[in-house]
C-alpha cells in the first residue's frame, strides 16, 4: 500500500498535507533539555537601584552647590590676608549682648522761657550748660535727647526770670548729670 493511498482517506479537502492517525508514522519523541528556572526580576531590585541613583544625584548636587558657594565667597588680593569673614561662617568671638538702656523722664529748667515755647513733644535737642552766671565755659550735657513734654508756663511776677520747664527722655546717668548741673548752672537748648 502506498503512502498516498493510506493518506487519501484521512486528508482533509482544505489542506493538501496528509494527516496520519495517532501512532502511525509519527516522528520520534525527543527529550526537552533541562533549563534553569526563569526568575523574573521584581520591582524590589528596581526600587533599590532608583533610590541609590537618587542618593548619588543628591550628593553630586550638594557637592556642586558647596563648590559654587566657596567660589563666590570673598577673596583676598594676592599676598594680603583676608580680614573679612566669609558669608555663612560663624563668628569666632561671641558678640556681647547689648544692654538695654533704660530711659527716664527728666525735668530740666531752661533759662530762656521763649526758647522753650518753640519746642514740642518729639523734638530732638542738645542740653547745654552755660556755667555759673554765664562766666564759666559751656559744655554739652546731653546730645540729641527727645522732648517728651512741654508743660504750660507758669504765669505771674518773676516767672519769666525763672525760665521754663521741659521734660526730656534720657538714660538714667544723663538724668543725674542734668539734675546736678541744673542746680549750679544755667541750662540752654539747641534744636537738632
Q: What is the mean pLDDT of residues 18-37?
A: 72
Helix (H) or strand (E) holding 139: strand 139-149
Instruction: Tell me what the pLDDT averaged over the chain comes to.
Output: 76
Task: List all residues 6 or more positions away from 171 whose beta carbon is below 8 Å from its beta carbon.
Answer: 101, 102, 103, 104
Residue 79 region by backbone torsions, left for phi larger than 0, else alpha for psi between -120 and 50, else beta:
left
Q: What is the mean pLDDT of residues 127-145?
A: 79
pLDDT band at 7 (very low <50, low <70, confident <90, very high): very low
Q: Cell numbers of 127, please? A: 542740653
Of 157, 170, 161, give the one whose Cα is nearest residue 107: 170
Q: How far is residue 150's CA from residue 163's CA, in Å, rounded to a whole number?
A: 13
Q: How far is residue 3's CA from residue 25's CA, in Å, rounded to a whole number?
A: 10
Strand segments (E) across 51-158: 103-110, 124-129, 139-149
Q: What is the pTM of this model?
A: 0.46
Report pLDDT for 128. Answer: 92
Q: How far is residue 139's CA from residue 155's CA, in Å, rounded to a whole number?
A: 30
Instruction: Convert the pLDDT of each residue in 58-100 to its tens digit.
Output: 888 899 998 888 887 766 555 555 555 555 555 556 666 666 7
Amino acid at each position: 500500500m502506498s503512502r498516498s493511498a493510506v493518506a487519501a482517506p484521512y486528508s482533509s479537502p482544505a489542506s493538501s498535507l496528509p494527516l496520519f492517525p495517532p501512532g502511525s508514522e509519527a516522528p520520534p519523541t525527543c527529550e526537552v533539555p533541562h533549563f534553569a528556572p526563569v526568575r523574573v526580576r521584581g520591582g524590589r531590585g528596581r526600587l533599590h537601584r532608583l533610590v541609590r541613583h537618587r542618593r548619588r544625584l543628591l550628593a553630586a548636587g550638594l557637592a556642586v552647590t558647596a563648590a559654587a558657594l566657596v567660589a563666590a565667597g570673598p577673596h583676598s588680593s594676592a599676598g594680603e590676608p583676608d580680614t573679612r569673614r566669609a558669608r555663612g561662617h560663624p563668628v569666632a568671638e561671641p558678640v556681647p549682648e547689648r544692654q538695654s538702656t533704660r530711659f527716664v523722664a527728666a525735668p530740666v529748667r531752661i533759662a530762656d522761657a521763649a526758647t522753650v515755647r518753640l519746642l514740642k513733644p518729639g523734638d530732638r535737642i542738645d542740653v547745654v550748660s552755660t556755667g555759673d552766671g554765664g562766666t564759666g565755659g559751656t559744655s554739652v550735657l546731653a546730645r540729641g535727647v527727645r522732648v517728651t513734654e512741654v508743660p504750660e508756663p507758669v504765669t505771674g511776677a518773676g516767672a519769666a526770670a525763672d525760665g521754663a520747664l521741659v521734660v526730656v527722655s534720657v538714660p538714667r546717668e544723663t538724668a543725674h548729670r542734668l539734675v546736678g548741673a541744673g542746680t549750679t548752672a544755667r541750662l540752654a537748648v539747641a534744636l537738632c
